[in-house]
Structure 1
Amino acid sequence: MNNRSYLKGFAAYLKLERSLSENSINAYTNDVEKLFQYFDANHKEVTLTAIKLKDLREFLIWLNELGAEASTQARVISGIKSFFTYLLQEELVVDDPAALLETPKIARKLPDTLSTHEIDLLIEAIDASKPDGMRNKAIMEVLYGCGLRVSELTELKISNLFAESEFIKVVGKGNKERIVPIGATALKLIQIYIDEVRVHASVKRGNEDYIFLNRFGAKLSRISIFNLIKSLAVAAGIKKSISPHTLRHSFATHLIEGGADLRAIQEMLGHASITTTEIYTHLDRDYLKTVITEFHPRA
């Protein structure tokens, strides 16, 4: 049986048992495909049961020689480890050669953030007189005010908006649900958009519950949010390269700088591990200098 024939079952496992999104499933299967490409390129006819740790290490050397960065190698290793976990569960292999495969150390890159002034400039750059102006203001307030991923924003539904208690229900990675507080400003703008703008839209069938719609009455795409933020950055004169995720980074960073509890931020961001959230504990040098100046007895 050809090695690639197992990828279909692997994809089904990722979808049904791991509840991963289509994008994540494609990434995992593509990572395993790279291993098969290595075998092909080096004329190695290796069955799954014959793959050894030595083969996987040689594969990583091959990836490195091709110029793959440490982060790419780490992701590929993650995909291969999941693949062999699946093969073990299905009793298609007896041993897991990836169990002792080491992941390269990755330098933790601090995410780009915007200052509160830059956030204000982005929102002020929106022309509220245009048909999509109020919608775009609400979008920006929700992205920054709730720290949502762009996919979480596009999937946000009216039925998951709890205005009285000032919470929204968000469906995150792996279809995991979480409750996130939403501020009065964001709530007010959403309500104005729904009551005064969206109410006049011809909503496409199946999109009735989505909050944010495009001009065709369908839910917004991820790319449309990216384009919106890029255009606002230009209009606001912001030179940084920003994306919807920059607003999420800014949300977390500003909470940390304000003294918020890391565990609470983890919950709001929907991080499975608090180590992911810890990257936001970086503080700018000016802030650190201010702390030393104000509170250290020898300053």
Structure 2
Amino acid sequence: MKYFNAEEKELLFKQIYREEGRHRKRNIAIFEVAKYCALRASEISNLKLGFYDRSSSTLYCQRLKGSNSNTLMIVDPYVRKALNDYLDERENLSIVSQNLFVSQKGFPFSRQRMDALMKYYCSQTNAIPQYKWHMHVLRHSRAIELIESGFDVNDVQYWLGHKNSENTFKYLEFTPALKQTLFKKLAALEGSEKSCGDRYPLDDSHMARNCRYAESPGSCCSRALCISKTYLFPLQTF
């Protein structure tokens, strides 16, 4: 799975903010909203002016590909400012389109143009690998960011609009920080919740006398069951 690490993301957005062209505010808003809301390029193109409530700082995200649409509150001040600055500028441009983001000619901003912008900004960093030069990488990056920040999988599922939680769980495989947290929990478990096979000598007599998972006095659940009780259950509920 392609996603930007923290350093790459920082370099990308620094490059976006350095732009001095006439569409600077629009482009900043597009990328800030796309990253924050984890939107696909086609979903950005379909955003309407009426989807954004400035008074409550909420944006209705109409998801595609069978995903659940949702309304997200924009609490990030950078995203909120980028969107409001663009809308203030847009009011003076006499644009009649109801699409939130439009081209110079007033048409919905195309996914092809978004990818072209992404390729340009990434190339200017001289640091981001070329295989990541796609808008969809922002969506993956947001999912990884939320998970590594400690958000519950159900919260991430809602944020991305996934109907099936299996689509959200796939991101767990690509989160180094989460794996480190998991290993730390296992290390703590090693010190306090050992199986009977580790707490006592591994001969059968000690295991039979001391196994806390034994079905009857003088018997043992077997080392395999002790390990599953101690290690696998915490993993399943993590």
TM-score, shorter chain, exceeding 0.5: yes
Q: Secondary structure at the match of 2:47?
A: coil
Instruction: State the aligned residue count.
Output: 185
Q: Secondary structure at the match of 1:241?
A: helix
Q: Secondary structure at the match of 1:213?
A: coil
Q: Given the alignment of the two structures, is residue 133 of structure 1 paired with residue 33 of structure 2, yes or no? A: no
Shift of 1:267: 1.3
Aligned to 2:79: 186
* Contact 2:67/2:163 (<8 A) preserved: no
Q: Deviation per CA, 1:231-258, whole angstroms, max 9, x where unpaired?
A: 1110112124121110000000110111
The partner residue of 1:121 within 11, 22, 32 is: 11
Alignment of 1:18-29 (within 5 A): none
* Alignment-mate amino acid for residue 138 of structure 1: A
The partner residue of 2:154 within 257, 260, 263 is: 263
CA distance 1:115–1:136, shift in 2 (3 Å):
same
TM-score, scaled relative to structure 1: 0.56
* Contact 1:252/1:265 (<8 A) preserved: yes
The runs of 5 or more residues in structure 1 that have no matched partner are 1-110
Aligned to 1:281: 172
Q: Share of identical aligned residues, percent?
A: 28
The runs of 5 or more residues in structure 2 that have no matched partner are 192-238
Cα separation, 2, equivalents of 1:294 and 1:264? 22
Cα separation, 2, equivalents of 1:171 and 1:113? 23
* Alignment-mate amino acid for residue 161 of structure 1: Y
Aligned to 2:131: 241
* Alignment-mate amino acid for residue 125 of structure 1: Q
Considering only CA atoms, is the larger Rg found in Structure 1 or Structure 2?
A: 2
CA distance 1:270–1:176, shift in 2 (3 Å):
closer
Alignment of 1:43-54 (within 5 A): none
Aligned to 1:148: 39
Shift of 1:116: 2.3
Aligned to 1:214: 103
CA distance 1:129–1:176, shift in 2 (3 Å):
same
Q: Secondary structure at the match of 1:179?
A: strand
Cα separation, 2, equivalents of 1:286 and 1:273? 24
Aligned to 2:88: 195
Flag the structure with more relative contact order, 1 or 2, with Cα contacts below 8 A and sequence separation at least 6: 2
TM-score, scaled relative to structure 2: 0.70
* Contact 2:35/2:142 (<8 A) preserved: yes
Aligned to 2:60: 169
Q: Given the alignment of the two structures, is residue 251 of structure 1 paired with residue 142 of structure 2, yes or no? A: yes
Q: Secondary structure at the match of 2:60?
A: strand
Cα separation, 1, equivalents of 2:155 and 2:147? 10
Shift of 1:222: 0.9
* Alignment-mate amino acid for residue 80 of structure 2: L
CA distance 1:257–1:132, shift in 2 (3 Å):
same
CA distance 1:289–1:164, shift in 2 (3 Å):
same
* Alignment-mate amino acid for residue 239 of structure 1: P
| Greater Cα shift, 162-171 or 245-254 | 162-171
* Contact 1:265/1:277 (<8 A) preserved: yes
* Alignment-mate amino acid for residue 50 of structure 2: S
Shift of 1:122: 1.0
Cα separation, 2, equivalents of 1:170 and 1:219? 16
Cα separation, 2, equivalents of 1:255 and 1:175? 18
Shift of 1:294: 8.2
Shift of 1:290: 6.4
Cα RMSD after superposing both structures: 2.3
* Contact 1:168/1:181 (<8 A) preserved: yes
